[in-house]
Every structure is written in C-alpha cells, then in structure tokens.
Amino acid sequence: MDGLELTRRIRTEAGEAGRVAFILFVTVHSDADGLTRALAAGADDFLTKPVTEEILRARLAVVRRRIEQEGARRSVESALARAQWLAGIGEAMLAIQHEVNNPLAALLGNAALLEQGLYANEEEREQCLRVIVEQSKRIAAVVKRLSALRDPRSVEYAGGARMIDLSGKREEQ
C-alpha cells in the first residue's frame, strides 16, 4: 500500500478520527501531478524531500495551530448547539405554560365546584361539566399541535421573552 492509498483509507474508513486527522504528505515527488494526487487522496499539506528539520518543525507548528483552531471551533459549535437546544426547551415550556395554564385553571375550578357540590342547580352542574369537557379538548388540541410540530418558530411573548408558536398560523414570508 502506498501513501496515497493509506490516506484514502484513513479518510474513508477511520470514521470521525479519519475526518479530523491532519495528514502531512512527505514525498520525493515534486511535480504538480504528485501534489494534485496527494490532495485528491485527502492530504492536508505536502512537503517534498529532502526536508530539513526547520521546515518540518515550521509545518508541524502550522498543523498544531490548525488542530487547536479546529478544536476551538468544534467546542464553540457544541456550546452554541447546546445553548440553542436549551433556549428551545425554554421556549417550549413557556408556550406550554401559556397554552395550558388557563384551560387547566378552568378545569380545576369547575371540578372543585362539582366535587364540593357548590352549584345552585342542575343547569349550573351541566355548565361545569361542559366547561370541563371544553377545556380538556383545548389541552388535547395543544398536545396535538405539539406532536405535529415540524418546523417550530419562535414568537415574542410578554416582557421580550420568546416562546414557540403553537397557534398553527404561519405569517406570510
């Protein structure tokens, strides 16, 4: 196996490690075709022999900087993704609280009236039951909209807070 084949295998068979590895090609081939083949195989840099210790150290310093920059970039991207994920959770919780709080209060209030027998007549009792059913359906609709959410968008809520839009409406672009 030559260096070109080894480079190809590292890039294709080593998974994530092969994608992030820095491959410095050191070869006797100094022609443009050799450089093109090495880069096409997946090499990141190219040196022709003979190589002095100073040149190799300089190139390795560049490699070290690139690796550190790549690591920093990945770390920042990871932190950003986590922050966005947490912000999304916060927006979802605010939307759920907003959409469920009022129907839940109506449910609990009417259930308490029924449970304690605090209705004046049969008509008020029936009204309590209708409110319970209606508010239960409102909560069920919120759950249904949540389960059907495919492309959530954020909208402004009270005090500049953001929440996921569960209205089911889309503004014209």
**How do the domains of the chain map onto residue ranges?**
3-76, 82-164
Q: Above 60 in pLDDT, residue 117?
A: yes
Task: Report the number of secondary-structure helices (H) and strands (E) in the chain.
Answer: 5, 4
Domain 3-76 fold is: Rossmann fold (3.40.50)
Give the predicted TM-score (pTM) of the model: 0.60
- Hey, how many other C-beta atoms are within 10 angstroms of the C-beta on 163? 20
CB 41 within 8 A of CB 8: yes
pLDDT in tens, 36-53: 999 999 999 888 889 999
Mean pLDDT of the 19-29 span: 86
Out of 22-31, 54-63, 102-111, 131-140, pick the least confident. Answer: 22-31
Identify which of 59, 65, 3 has the alpha carbon closest to the alpha carbon of residue 35. Answer: 3
- pLDDT value at position 40? 93
